[in-house]
């Protein structure tokens, strides 16, 4: 999933909302609307936010 986060084209300084919007664009239309896939979508968004938070933490730690 980390590779997917890299393909979102978001910077470390972007907000969580920007990350969610970019992640949403990566999903197909049917995946975005199917109620049966709701839990999978939530898991995907949470993972993207987790990777983004880790990137922000690393950038702060190394002052990038």
Q: Is the pTM of this model over 0.85?
A: yes
Task: Report the C-alpha gap between 16 and 47 in whole angstroms.
Answer: 12
Token readout for 15 is 């907000």
The pLDDT assigned to 63 comes to 86
Mapping DSSP to helix (H, G, I), strand (E, B) and coil, where does residue 38 land? helix
Q: How far apart are CA 17 and CA 31, in angstroms?
A: 19
Q: How many residues does the chain have?
A: 64
- Tell me what pLDDT residue 57 has: 96
Where the chain has pLDDT below 70, the residues are: 64
* Residue 16, helix vs strand vs coil: helix
What's residue 39's pLDDT?
A: 97
- Three-state DSSP class for 37? helix
């Amino acid at each position: 999933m980390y590779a997917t986060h890299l393909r979102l084209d978001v910077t470390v300084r972007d907000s969580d909302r920007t990350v969610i919007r970019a992640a949403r664009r990566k999903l197909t239309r049917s995946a975005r609307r199917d109620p049966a896939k709701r839990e999978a979508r939530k898991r995907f968004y949470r993972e993207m936010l987790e990777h983004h938070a880790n990137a922000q933490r690393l950038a702060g730690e190394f002052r990038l």
